[in-house]
Amino acid sequence: MSTFSMEKHQLTGRSLIAGETAAGHGETFFGFNPVDGRALEQEFFSASIEDVDCAVNAALEAFAALAESTGKERSALLRSIAAAIEAAAPQLAEQAHLETALPRTPRLAGEIARTTGQLRLFAAMVEEGSWVQAHIDTADANRTPPRPDLRSMLRPLGPVAVFGASNFPFAFSVAGGDTASALAAGNPVIVKAHPAHPGTSELVGRIVSDAVKASGFPAGVFSLLFDRGHQVGAALVQHPGVRAVGFTGSLRGGRALMDLAAQRHEPIPVYAEMGSTNPVFILPGALQQRGEDLAASLHGSFTLAGGQQCTKPGVIFAPTASADGFVDKLRTATRGDAAFSLLTAGIAHAYKRAIAGRSELLTAEGAPAQDSADGHWASPGLFETTSDHFFANADLGEEVFGPATLLVHCSGIEEMLRAAHSLEGHLTATVIGTDDDLMQNKQLLRVLETKAGRLICNGVPTGVDVCDAMIHGGPYPATSDGRSTSVGNQAIYRFTRPVAYQNWPQAVLPPELQDVNPLGITRLWNGKLIPAPTS
């Protein structure tokens, strides 16, 4: 049975600062049910600037203990968070469903499983220990000049501010990938809850906070702050004690944080995942062979979760001159759609404005959206245009967050290649083709390599696996930093820096760098890679 007590975890609406419930001084706010647009019962209290200061100072005090803890100790903390989330899964899914209208199953249950999976993935990484990238070059007195003993490994950065996303109330929120990877590397975390799911945030926040307490780590390892507006987030990013930022959200929001971080006395890294139109390129052979199937799978992908996925295919380039089956199927599938409830009034409003702004290109629309006064409903939409019109209207390349996509009719591969060259950065780019198509259009792949973090062949961009090889990143404006990924094992490296130790006695070196390799990790020893004995 669940060890998670409903009594203990009733909502309070209060921020959690280093294990203590904060009074909250600012404006209050409510979660909303997207289905009927009505405010939920629990009132939430915005944190104050003083609360931010308390949380960051507690994080700074906790940093040394967390940074010096063993991988096994941090692993135990992450596993206990995962276990407690699993135990509370029914209540968590219920609360998130109330606040987001995302289906309890498979979506929210699946997202909770992904979230606990991520926590355990990073737990396993730091338990095993090789992730620190130990480099050891032993002394050589006979070389000219003599070589000193030099050893380096990754160390944590310090307190990390994490901004929860609206569209993934678990996997990119309070105990999501940013928090899991930052904690795993040894960084205290201060989460700014997304106001679209404050109740879910509080429940998960209390789980993390309780787990920190039970683990024996200082309580400052984790804090959760509520805010109706942007003041708390801005103060966090500007606080001298904060050393890095993780964010998932809009380009406007992410860029604002990037600018604040760059203007600090000491600029800090901001890892902002800011969305993308995830262009899809359909090559002629595949379009002829299986146009209708492609239309069906792309339709499923662009309407998944109401089109509120970072990886939604928002623009499709195809040589459609003799592909009526594909085009017709895309239109009829869209017309057959029911309306979706979107996550927030703001998202629904922006979506409807974008639809209205492109109304002359709208060729198919799903069932009419219900009146917005009664909820955040929106109707799926298909836009179509020519490549000439696309090239002449730069705003058509912008992301429309919601269940819409844009089909760009191209005359042939030259126009598609031109479109690829014209792209800014994206999280993903997809190429659909027969083997012949692909071999004849390697140039397209080469161009797309410079534009996206993940290149999909004969699939859809939605669905982001959490594994070693996953890159959920991409050049600006898809993210603030195309050199990183926010999903998968490699996300841990965002919150680290390398430190070299020169000529230190064995007894003072971190165990990862001692000759005897007490942790049994993989190391680079005098240029030779020595895999972990256990691997």
List, by residue number, the catalytic residues.
273, 310
50 binds a second copy (CB under 8 A): no
Q: Which stretch binds a second copy (CB under 8 A): 14-22, 289-297, 310-318, 461-469?
A: 461-469
Q: Which stretch binds a second copy (CB under 8 A): 95-103, 286-294, 313-321, 523-531?
A: 523-531
Residue 104 Cβ, how far from a second copy at the closest point, in Å? 17
529: β partners: 524
Find the binding residues for a second copy in span 462-481 (CB under 8 A): 463, 465, 467-471, 473, 475-477, 480-481
388 binds a second copy (CB under 8 A): no
497 binds a second copy (CB under 8 A): yes
Site residue total, a second copy (CB under 8 A): 81
Binding a second copy (rule: CB under 8 A), the pick from 1, 356, 528, 533 is 528
Lay out the site mask for a second copy across 318-357 (x = CB under 8 A, - = otherwise): ----------------------------------------
Residue 385 Cβ, how far from a second copy at the closest point, in Å? 25
Q: Is the peptide bond before 106 cis (omega within 30 degrees of 0)?
A: yes
How far out from the chain centre does Cα 4 lie? 27
Running DSSP on this structure, what letter comes out for residue 499?
Answer: E
DSSP 3-state of 378: strand
Nearest CB to a second copy, comparing residues 194 and 494: 494
269 binds a second copy (CB under 8 A): yes
**Alpha helix ranges (H) inside 129-216:** 177-185, 198-215
Indicate the burial class of 524 (C-beta count within 10 angstroms; 0-12, 13-18, 19 or more).
middle
Residue 331 Cβ, how far from a second copy at the closest point, in Å? 27
69 binds a second copy (CB under 8 A): no
Helix axes 442-449, 413-422, angle to 10 degrees: 10
Reported as type and span, the H/E element at residue 364 is: strand 362-365
Residue type (1 letter), 152: S
Q: Which residue has the tokens 């595949």?
A: 286
Residue 395 Cβ, how far from a second copy at the closest point, in Å? 15
φ and ψ of 384, to 5 deg: -140, 145
CA atoms within 13 A on the CB side of 489: 13
Find the binding residues for a second copy in span 99-118 (CB under 8 A): 110
Residue 14 contacts by C-beta under 8 Å, 6 or more apart in sequence? 21, 22, 23, 24, 44, 45, 202, 226
Residue 145 Cβ, how far from a second copy at the closest point, in Å? 7
Nearest CB to a second copy, comparing residues 325 and 459: 459
41 binds a second copy (CB under 8 A): no
Binding a second copy (rule: CB under 8 A), the pick from 12, 504, 511, 520 is 504
Residue 535 Cβ, how far from a second copy at the closest point, in Å? 6
48 binds a second copy (CB under 8 A): no
Residue 152 Cβ, how far from a second copy at the closest point, in Å? 4
Q: Which stretch binds a second copy (CB under 8 A): 82-90, 175-183, 376-384, 455-463?
A: 455-463
Six-digit token string for 463: 């669905």
Find the binding residues for a second copy in span 226-265 (CB under 8 A): 258-259, 262-263
366 binds a second copy (CB under 8 A): no
CA distances for 303 relative to 21, 313, 358, 381, 467, angstroms: 40, 9, 18, 9, 25
Six-digit token string for 437: 């198509």
Q: Which stretch binds a second copy (CB under 8 A): 75-83, 171-179, 205-213, 493-501?
A: 493-501
Residue 139 Cβ, how far from a second copy at the closest point, in Å? 10
Radius of gyration of the chain (CA): 25
Find the binding residues for a second copy in span 144-183 (CB under 8 A): 145, 147-148, 150-152, 155, 157-158
| Separation between Cα atoms, residue 87 and residue 74, nearest integer Å | 20
Running DSSP on this structure, what letter comes out for residue 302?
Answer: H
Six-digit token string for 495: 């919150």
Binding a second copy (rule: CB under 8 A), the pick from 356, 360, 529, 533 is 529
- Computed from CA positions of residues 169, 462, 364, 394, in that sequence, does the dihedral angle turn out positive or negative? positive
